[in-house]
Amino acid sequence: MLIAVILTLAVGTYAFRLSGVVLRDRLALPDGVNRLLPMAAAALLAALAVTAALTEAGAFAGFARPSGVLVGAVLAWRRAPFIAVVVAAAATAALLRLLGVP
Amino acid sequence: MRTAGRTATPASTPALLRDVGAIGVAIVAIGASFGAVAVAAGLPVVATIAMSALLYAGGAQFMAVGLIAAGSPVAAVFAGLLLNARHLPFGLALGDVLGRRWRDRLLGSHLMTDEATAFALAQPDPAGRRRAFWLAGTVLFLAWNLGTLAGVLLASRVGDPLRLGLDAAFPAGLLALLLPALREPQTRRVALVGAAVAVLVTPLLPAGLPVLLALSGLAVLLLPRRHRERPC
């Protein structure tokens, strides 16, 4: 049973991954639609980032994580190096938790 | 990411490697946490390692382990697949970034993650996107699987990634990679509306669906606007 669950998940996920790549080639999409695809990906990634920043299992994630992400986002906006963004976000959240912020 | 996109110059390989490495370190730690959690939940060591190698999707793996441990294997499959459906539009957006040969498509598809997609799309030109995708894809795959292996071996000695604030590192990294694209007004509107929709419906819908509903942000392009831009 466990093997079946893992294999079904693995095959299904791989099918999602591959089918987008193959469909892009086969569908010969009009330019207008092709122009939308990077925007669609940006919307998905932005939604992932924001939901991951704010929520955990469908509820508010607490203050430490969004604060860390906000510090990282401000640094990114100010064109800080990528490593600084990631480290500052993690350090802020870690520090707030150390101080007892949920 | 100073090196990519924002200045419209492709990132050099060492600069890319440094940036991918920063996320890679965090992924090793989260992978170790997954390995430890899965083994503690009663998953056999081989199944845990196979899951990271074959499924290779962190969110779905944590969710599946939880549901399997709760005795709901069918729910684990449906929830995991719903969570991973976003890879289809990622594949559509990436297209030839993986390469035109079947070997590249078949292998590259397995390496497709949120982060690899974000690193690739942050690059301004096709060659840079391909390099960034393969570099991030390979490094992060190794990081996740090495992390899992370490977690399985060290088990209870693995620390809590929350104490290191790593849960804040991933959203911040994704936002940093998205910023160049978000400086374009149309993309920014689409992404903001999509993200807002996703957050609003997150308390109501099963995981995975809110992020997919972010695609509704594309509807803002239908609104009439005074400054209608037509990028080539």
- Binary contact (B73, A42; C-beta < 8 A): no
- Binary contact (B190, A39; C-beta < 8 A): yes
* Token reading at B196: 């807002």
Give the pLDDT mean for B194-209.
Answer: 97
Convert chain A into a string of H (helix), E (strand) and C (coil). Answer: CHHHHHHHHHHHHHHHHHHHHHHHHHCCCCHHHHHHHHHHHHHHHHHHHHHHHHEECCEECCCHHHHHHHHHHHHHHCCCCHHHHHHHHHHHHHHHHHCCCC
Give the pLDDT mean for A5-33.
Answer: 94
Q: What is the identity of the amino acid at B76?
A: A
Give the helix/strand (H/E) hosting B83. Answer: helix B73-84
Chain A closest-CA separation from residue B106 CA (Å): 7
Nearest CA in chain A to B83: A13
ipTM: 0.95
pLDDT score of B11: 85
- Binary contact (A79, B68; C-beta < 8 A): no
For B41-98, write each residue's pLDDT tens digit: 999 999 999 999 999 999 999 999 999 999 999 999 999 999 999 999 999 999 999 9
Chain B closest-CA separation from residue A46 CA (Å): 6
pLDDT score of B191: 98
pLDDT score of B6: 47
Task: Give yes or no for a contact between B136 and B116, defined as CB atoms under 8 angstroms apart.
Answer: yes
For A77-93, write each residue's pLDDT tens digit: 999 999 999 999 999 99
Q: What is the mean pLDDT of chain B?
A: 92
Task: Give yes or no for a contact between B82 and B73, defined as CB atoms under 8 angstroms apart.
Answer: no
For B4-38, write each residue's pLDDT tens digit: 444 457 789 999 999 999 999 999 999 999 999 99
Q: Residue B3's pLDDT band (boundaries 50, 70, 90)? A: very low
